[in-house]
Amino acid sequence: MRAHIILSVLLLSALTVNAQNDKQHDWAQFYRYAESNAAITEGKIEKPRVVFMGNSITDHWAQQRPEFFDMHNFAGRGISGQTSSEMLVRFQADVIDLHPKYVVILSGINDIARNNGYISLNHILQNIISMCQIAKVNKIKPIICSLTPCKQFTWRKELQPAENIVELNKMLREYAKKNHITYVDYWSALAADDKGMRAEYTTDGCHLTAEGYSVMEEIILNTLRKAGIK
């Protein structure tokens, strides 16, 4: 009997390890929102009016201020550390399948940080363009957001991202204007004179305080109201 118990425990442990390994090899992290997405697609909860696709800025936003998302029927689909390539891979599952009216795309800072290796600003732009094109084909209106300011990454201190952020924001703005896509400028409201983030808005130079998120919330709500989302 004891041998059977030990064998069962070992088998359960092996299955748990395999499951964890499977998640580690889920490069785009589809598992992160799989249950939440299923609840929406199966009709158990109401589909969101707006999906926020992003990285840690969006991820922390939804975790720290869930009432903002709940009261407006918004869905946060941010994953910390993700690059535009990873977001593009999961865009179908985490945005399109939820059938929102709008998708708010905030992407690119982790590409500049080289989280998955070097990628040019032009290729970052192309990934974001691809997300916009996929959204449009599925009758979802994309909203492109500026990257938020950051002068130094705590995890890649050798890099100096401020000028790259400014340049990518310029590229995003120009693409949005040329293609009649709404562009949201968070950067100007959050930036200090040195092109980093204002001290009262950040915890570490890149990530936001509650006050910083409050600024972003006012900006995006004004944008959505103009677009017809009350």
pLDDT digits (tens, 9 = 90+) for 173-186: 999 999 999 999 99
Domain that holds residue 196: 31-227
CATH number of the domain at 53, please.
Answer: 3.40.50.1110
In 10 A of CB 39, how many CB atoms? 12
Looking at per-residue confidence, does 170 or 17 come out higher?
A: 170
- Residue 23: the pLDDT is 59
- Per the structure, how many domains does the chain have? 1
Query: What's the predicted TM-score (pTM) here?
Result: 0.89
Residue 13 domain-assigned (yes or no): no
For residue 178, the SS3 value is helix
Residue 8 domain-assigned (yes or no): no
Residue 92 domain-assigned (yes or no): yes
Residue 132 domain-assigned (yes or no): yes
Rounded mean pLDDT of the chain? 92
Q: How confident is the model at residue 72 (pLDDT cuts 50, 70, 90)?
A: very high
C-alpha to C-alpha distances, 191 to 60, 109, 166, 201, nearest whole angstrom = 19, 15, 11, 9
- Whose tokens are 């990257």? That residue is 147
Q: How confident is the model at residue 228 (pLDDT cuts 50, 70, 90)?
A: confident
Instruction: Give me the mean pLDDT over the 177-206 stretch.
Output: 97
In 10 A of CB 214, how many CB atoms? 14
* Rounded-to-integer distance, Cα 36 and Cα 125, Å: 29
Residue 2 domain-assigned (yes or no): no
Residue 37 domain-assigned (yes or no): yes
Residue 56 domain-assigned (yes or no): yes
